[in-house]
Structure 1
Amino acid sequence: MADVKTGSTESPLLRYVVNNPDAFAHNLAAIVEAAGKAAAAYLEPRERGEAKAVLSDEIAEVVKTLAHVGDYWLRDPARLVEAQSRLMNGFMDLWTQSLRRATGEPAEDVVQPAPGDKRFADAEWKENQFFDFLKQAYLLSSRWAEQMVSEAKEIDPHIQHKADFYVRQISAALSPSNFVMTNPELLRETLASNGENLARGLRMLAEDIEAGKGELRIRQSDPGSFKVGENLATTPGSVIFENEVCQIIQYEATTEKVLKRPLLIVPPWINKFYVLDLNPEKSLIKWAVDQGHTVFVISWVNPDERLAAKSFEHYMREGILTGVDVACKVSRTNEVNTVGYCVGGTLLAVTLAWCAATGDDRIKSATLFTTQVDFTHAGDLKVFVDEEQIRILEQRMASRGYLEGSKMASAFNSLRANDLIWPYFINNYMRGREPFPFDLLYWNSDSTRMPAANHSFYLRNCYLENNLAKGILEVAGERLDLSKVTVPIYNLATREDHIAPAESVYLGSRLFGGPVKFVMAGSGHIAGVINPPARKKYQFWSGGPADGDLAGWIAGATETPGSWWPDWDGWLRSLDDREAKARRIGGGRYNPIEPAPGSFVRTRA
C-alpha cells in the first residue's frame, strides 16, 4: 500500500528501524557522556550548597493539595465507584474501537484532542493504530483526572484551584508527545539520524542546567542572536538620572513640536522595560516619540542582597515620584502623563492614590496596560499565593535578600506549559535543535530578581489580601483609597491574558473616582500590548463604562480592526493637545550619564 504522504510503497514499520547500527552505537556513547555532564551540572551546585537538593516544599505542596481531592472521593464509596466506572468505561470503549480497527471494521475515536492542540499534529498519531491508541488513552486519563478535581465540590475553592492547576501541569508533563518512544515524529527522527539528535540535545541540556546554576533554564530563543543596545532597545536616548532603584531614560525627540505634557512610562520590575522597545518596527517607545511625545522611561535595577529592604514605598518614591520630578524639570512643566504596565501599573495606581491623599496633582492622566488593582479574579497566579506558600517563599528570600528571577519566569511559563515549556523541551533536548531566534522570547528569558521586602508586600497586600481594592492598603503613612483618584484613566485589558485576566482588569475599572476609558485588545499580555499599527494585527474593543459583567460589555462594545495605539494617542490629545518646542536631552537640568538603554537593563540575573 502506498504511503498517503509520500506515495512510497515501503512498509510503515521500516520508518522505525535503525539505519546504521555503528553510527547509532557511537551516538549512544555520546548520549551517555552528555547525560553524565548534565547530571554533574545538576549535582555540583548542590554539593557546594548553592542549590537545594530537592524541591521538597513544592512536592509536599502538590501532594498535600491532591490529597484533599483524593479524600473527597474516598469518603463516599458510591461516588468513588462511579468515578472509577467512568474511566473504565472509557477504556473499554477505546479497546472496542481499537479491535474494530484492527479487524478492518469502521471505528470511531472515543476522544479527540482539543482544537488548536499542536502536540498531536503528526499524521501518525491518527494513521498508526499504536500511536493513536496511546494518544486517546492519554486524553481519556488526563480529562478524567481534571474532572475528578472539577467535581470535588466540597473542598475549599482555593485548594480546588491549586489542584486543577497541578493536575494540568502533571498532565502536560506526562503527554506521550514528550517522550521519544511514544512520539512517532521524535522516534522517526531519532532512528533516521541514528540518535545524533539526542546526543546534541543532551549536550544542550547540560549547558542549560549549567547556565541555570543547577536548575534547568530552558532556552526559548537563540541566546547569541540578540544583544541589548545593539539589536534590541535601540531607540536613541540617554540615561539622565539614576539612584539605587532605577535609571531614568529620556528619548530623543524626532519632531519639531511635542505635546506640552511629557510621558513617563513605568514598566514592571518583574521584567525588563525593553519589551516596549524590542526593535524599531515593534517599539511603542519609538512610536510614541514619533507622535510627538517627550518620553521618559523608568529602567528598574536588577537588585541583589544589598536592596533586600527596598519596599513598595521605596519603588514609589525613588521610582515613580522621582521620575515625575525629572520629567517635569526637563520639560519645564508641572504636568505629566503616565503609563504603567502590569505590576508597574499597580504601583502607578498606588502612587495615584497616594498623590490624591497628599495633594500632589502633577500626574494629569494615567494609562494602565494589563494592570490589576482588584485581585479577586487574578487567574492562575493565585495558585502560588496562600499563607503557607508565602511563608516558605519569605524564608527563602530572607536567606538571599531577593527572589531569583528564574522562579518568577518558571511560574509565568507554567501558566502556558504546552506553549512555553514542552515545545522547547522537545525541540531543544529531543530534537537537538537550537530554538528559532525570536526577540520576544529572548526578552522573556531575560529575567530579573525582586527585593524581598517589595515582593513580600506585593504578594500579601495584592494577591493574598486584596487590600488595595478594599481601600485599607497603607503606604508611606497614608491609607490609600482609589475612589479619591479623579484623573482620567485609559485602562487596557487584553482578551487572552493569562497573567492579568481581562475580567480582573475590567473589575478594577470601577474602583477609580474619575473617568475611566476601558479598552480591550485582542491577543494576550504581551502581543496585545505590543501591536504597532503598521502590522495591522488583532483588534480592540471600546465602548461605555465598565458596568455589569465583561461579557455584556463586550456585546455592546465597538470592535475596531488593528492596533489600539492611535486610539490611545487620540485620547491623550483629547485631554490636552497643547504643544511646545521639542526638548533636548536633559533640558539643561540634567547631564547625560550614558546612552540608552543604560547599564541597569544589561545586568543579567
Structure 2
Amino acid sequence: MATLARLTGGISPHAVIEAWSDWALHLARAPGRQLELAEHAATSAARLWRFNLEVMSGMSPAPPFTPQKYDTRWSHEGWAQPPFSLMQQAFLASHDWWDAATADLRGLRGDTSARTGFMVRQALDWVSPSNSALLNPEILEATRRTAGHNLTRGARNFADDMSRALTQEARPIPPEFALGEHLACTPGEVVFRNDIMELIQYRPQTGTVHPEPVLIVPAWIMKYYILDLSPHNSLINWLVGQGHTVFCISWINPGAEMADLSLEDYRLRGIMAALDAVGAIVPDTKIHANGYCLGGTLLAIAAAVMARDGDDRLASVTLMAAQVDFMEAGELLLFLDESQVALLDDMMWAQGYLDRPQMAFAFAAIRAEDLIHTRNVRRYLLGLRDMPSDITVWNGDTTRMPARMHSQYLRGLFLENRLTAGRFAVEGRVIALKDIRAPMFVVATEADHIAPWRSVYKTKLFTDADLRFVLTRGGHNGGILSEPGHAGRHYRIGHRRTGSRYMDPDTWLADHPPQDGSWWPAYGRWLAEHSGPRAAPPAMGAPDAGYPLIEPAPGRNIHQR
C-alpha cells in the first residue's frame, strides 16, 4: 500500500473510482440532466461555429468563452489571432461543458461533483493547446526568434529538474538570498532549544518597548522565515520596529527517527515550552500570541486548553490565515476521505514522514493551470529560467512532517472536524474555543485556496471573546506579507464585541468597505491598545533562569534540508 501511495502521489485509486462511479450512475438515471447537457453542447457548438465564421470573415468578434482570472496561459497576444483563437475557444468550450456535466446532481454524495470536476479539469489541462510546442503561438514565436535555442535550453532545464527529482537533491539557495544575511536576517538570538524547536528572541530596535512580548507560532508545514523574509517585507522586523519584544518558534525539519512525534508533542514541547521561556525572560507580564496557518490552529487549541485550566498568561490571540473549523476548508478537502488518509498513513508508515514535495504537488494541483502547466511551458518549451525572489526561495526550501502528527491533524481536524464539533480532547478532556477570553485578532485573505476566508471567518461562530476580523487582499502567503507601501493592497476590518450577535460572512463583507493600504498598521494599533505603557527593553535571554544566549538568529533549524 505504501508503494501504491508513492506511485499515485497519495491519491487513493479506490476514492477516484468511487467518485466516478457515483457520478456516472446518478447521471445515467437523470434523463433531464442528460437533455440539459445535450442542449448545452449544442448551444456551445453553435456559439463556436458563429465565432469561427466571423473570425474567418475578417471580423473581430468577442470570444464566447473566457478563461478564469488567474489563468495566465492565454495572455500572449497570439491567442487572439486565428487559428490559435479557434483552438483556445474550443478548449475553453470543453472546459465549460465539463463544468456543467460535473455540477451538483440530486442524490450525489456531497463531495462527488467537486471531485469529478477537479479530476476532469486536471485531465483537460494536460491536453491544453497551450502545452504544445506546435499549437502555442508564444512558443512558435520564440522558436522562430531564437532558431530553436529555446527548446535546447528547455531540454537542459528538464534534465536538471528530473535529475534533482530522482536524486531528491534540494536546489541550493542562491547566494543573494543567503539565510541570515539577506533572508531571515532580523537581529536576534536563540534563547531556547529542545528536540522539536528553537526559540528566537529578537533584539530591540527602539529605545522603549511595550511590556507585553509577542510570541509567533508558525506552521510546522513551512519554515518560519516566511514571516521574516527580506527586511522590507518581514512582519517580524516590522513588529520589532514598532516597539515590540518579539519571540518566534523555529520548528525542526524532522526525519524518519521522529515519526512518533504527536500533535500534543508540538503543543507541549512547542507552544507551552515557548510560553514558559518567554515568561521567564520577560516576567510578570502577559504575552501576545500570534499563530500562522496550522500554527494558528495549534495556538487556538493551546489557548482553549489554557482557558479551561485557568492559565491566563495570554494578553491576546492573533490567528493569521488559520482555520479552527474545517467543514469548508476549500479544495484541499478534495484530497481527503477515509480511503485517502489511510493510504497516506501507509506511505508515512514506510518513510516516517510526509515529505514537502508530496504536499507541494497537492497544493500545486489546485491551481495547476498556473503552478504546473504555465511553469512547465516557461521552463521546458520557452527555455526560461525561474527568476528567484525571496518568496520563491522560501517556497523551495522544503520541510517534512512527522507521520504520527500529520495523520492526527488530517484525521482529527480536516476529516472529522473534532475541534468545533466538541470532540477534540486534550489530556483526556474535551476543549471548547468559547472558553478563550483573551481578545482576538483574526486575519483572512481574499484569494486563499488553502484557508478560504469564509472558513477562517467561522472563528467568529465558535468564540465569544472580543474579536477583530480582517480580510485582506492576496493569497495565503501574499496577503499576510502585506507591508506598508505594497502597491495595490487593501483590507477590510470589523469589530465583534463580546456578547454581540453573529453576522454571516456575506453580510459582513457588504457592511465593511475596503480600505486602501496594508493591514499591518491596524494590527500594530490593536496590539498597542492591548499593551501597557512603553518602558525600557528587557534583557536578551535569562541565563539565571536557564535561558542563555545559545547562538545568533536564525539558528540552526532553518538550515536543515
How high is the TM-score relative to the length of structure 2?
0.93
Partner SS for 1:167: helix
* Displacement after TM superposition at 1:316 (Å): 0.5
- Of 551, 556, 559, the match for 1:599: 556
Alignment of 1:386-465 (within 5 A): 386-465=337-416
Letter in 2 for 1:351: A
Contact 1:229-1:597 within 8 A present in 2 as well? yes
User: Cα distance 1:520–1:303, how it changes in 2: closer, same or farther (>3 A)?
Assistant: same
Partner SS for 1:286: helix
Alignment of 1:486-505 (within 5 A): 486-505=437-456
2:532 corresponds to 1:586: no
Who is 2:494 aligned against? 543
Who is 2:73 aligned against? 119
User: Cα distance 1:184–1:63, how it changes in 2: closer, same or farther (>3 A)?
Assistant: farther
- How far apart, CA to CA, are the structure 2 residues paired with 1:193 and 1:435? 19
2:242 corresponds to 1:291: yes
589-598 or 319-328, larger mean C-alpha shift: 589-598
Contact 1:544-1:553 within 8 A present in 2 as well? no
- How far apart, CA to CA, are the structure 1 residues paired with 2:93 and 2:554? 50
253-262 or 389-398, larger mean C-alpha shift: 253-262
Who is 1:23 aligned against? none
Who is 2:419 aligned against? 468
* Displacement after TM superposition at 1:73 (Å): 2.3
* Displacement after TM superposition at 1:63 (Å): 4.5
Who is 2:120 aligned against? 167
* Displacement after TM superposition at 1:100 (Å): 4.8
- How far apart, CA to CA, are the structure 2 residues paired with 1:549 and 1:329? 42
Contact 2:12-2:343 within 8 A present in 1 as well? no
- How far apart, CA to CA, are the structure 2 residues paired with 1:56 and 1:241? 36
Residues 467-525 of structure 1: per-residue CA shift (max 9 Å, x gap): 10112201233311111111111111112211111111111222123211212112221
- How far apart, CA to CA, are the structure 1 residues paired with 2:42 and 2:510? 42
- Of 48, 59, 63, the match for 1:94: 48
- How far apart, CA to CA, are the structure 2 residues paired with 1:97 and 1:534? 44
Who is 2:185 aligned against? 234
- How far apart, CA to CA, are the structure 2 residues paired with 1:55 and 1:580? 54
* Displacement after TM superposition at 1:50 (Å): 13
Residues 90-135 of structure 1: per-residue CA shift (max 9 Å, x gap): 23442354245435577663433345642222222122x2211111
- How far apart, CA to CA, are the structure 2 residues paired with 1:504 and 1:62? 26
Contact 2:251-2:557 within 8 A present in 1 as well? yes
* Displacement after TM superposition at 1:174 (Å): 2.6
2:155 corresponds to 1:202: yes
Who is 1:37 aligned against? none
Partner SS for 1:591: coil
Partner SS for 1:581: coil
Residues 245-277 of structure 1: per-residue CA shift (max 9 Å, x gap): 101111111112111111100001111110111
2:526 corresponds to 1:571: yes
- Of 159, 164, 185, the match for 1:211: 164
Who is 1:40 aligned against? none
Who is 1:12 aligned against? none
Letter in 2 for 1:131: F
Contact 2:212-2:287 within 8 A present in 1 as well? yes
- How far apart, CA to CA, are the structure 2 residues paired with 1:57 and 1:449? 18
* Displacement after TM superposition at 1:580 (Å): 3.2
- How far apart, CA to CA, are the structure 2 residues paired with 1:557 and 1:105? 44
Who is 1:142 aligned against? 95
Point out the structure with max Rg over C-alpha. 1
User: Cα distance 1:289–1:75, how it changes in 2: closer, same or farther (>3 A)?
Assistant: same
* Identity score, percent: 36
- Of 125, 138, 154, the match for 1:185: 138
Contact 1:263-1:337 within 8 A present in 2 as well? yes
* Displacement after TM superposition at 1:184 (Å): 0.8
Contact 2:460-2:502 within 8 A present in 1 as well? no
TM-align CA RMSD:
2.5
* Displacement after TM superposition at 1:334 (Å): 4.5
- Of 269, 273, 280, the match for 2:224: 273
* Displacement after TM superposition at 1:458 (Å): 0.6
User: Cα distance 1:309–1:255, how it changes in 2: closer, same or farther (>3 A)?
Assistant: same
Letter in 2 for 1:365: S
User: Cα distance 1:332–1:154, how it changes in 2: closer, same or farther (>3 A)?
Assistant: same
Who is 1:555 aligned against? 510
510-519 or 260-269, larger mean C-alpha shift: 510-519
Letter in 2 for 1:553: W
368-377 or 147-156, larger mean C-alpha shift: 147-156
Who is 2:477 aligned against? 526
Contact 1:346-1:372 within 8 A present in 2 as well? yes
Letter in 2 for 1:243: N
- Of 263, 271, 276, the match for 1:325: 276
Contact 2:318-2:441 within 8 A present in 1 as well? yes
Partner SS for 1:329: helix
541-550 or 481-490, larger mean C-alpha shift: 541-550
Number of aligned positions between the proteins: 554
Alignment of 1:19-30 (within 5 A): none
- How far apart, CA to CA, are the structure 1 residues paired with 2:46 and 2:318? 56
- How far apart, CA to CA, are the structure 2 residues paired with 1:505 and 1:425? 32
Contact 2:294-2:322 within 8 A present in 1 as well? yes
Contact 1:180-1:186 within 8 A present in 2 as well? yes
- Of 27, 33, 36, the match for 1:73: 27
Q: What runs of 5+ residues in structure 2 fail to find an aligned partner?
A: none
Partner SS for 1:182: coil
Residues 201-229 of structure 1: per-residue CA shift (max 9 Å, x gap): 12211221222236899x8x985652222
Residues 176-204 of structure 1: per-residue CA shift (max 9 Å, x gap): 11221110111221233233212221221
Contact 2:379-2:386 within 8 A present in 1 as well? yes
Q: What runs of 5+ residues in structure 1 fail to find an aligned partner?
A: 1-45
User: Cα distance 1:65–1:291, how it changes in 2: closer, same or farther (>3 A)?
Assistant: same
Letter in 2 for 1:418: E
Who is 2:111 aligned against? 158
489-498 or 66-75, larger mean C-alpha shift: 66-75
Letter in 2 for 1:253: P
Who is 2:301 aligned against? 350
* Displacement after TM superposition at 1:306 (Å): 1.4
- How far apart, CA to CA, are the structure 2 residues paired with 1:81 and 1:550? 36
Contact 1:304-1:449 within 8 A present in 2 as well? yes
Contact 1:330-1:586 within 8 A present in 2 as well? yes
Partner SS for 1:296: strand
226-235 or 191-200, larger mean C-alpha shift: 191-200
537-546 or 345-354, larger mean C-alpha shift: 537-546
64-73 or 275-284, larger mean C-alpha shift: 64-73
Letter in 2 for 1:112: T
Who is 1:83 aligned against? 37
User: Cα distance 1:513–1:413, how it changes in 2: closer, same or farther (>3 A)?
Assistant: same
- How far apart, CA to CA, are the structure 2 residues paired with 1:554 and 1:93? 36
Partner SS for 2:492: strand
Partner SS for 1:255: coil
* Displacement after TM superposition at 1:151 (Å): 4.3
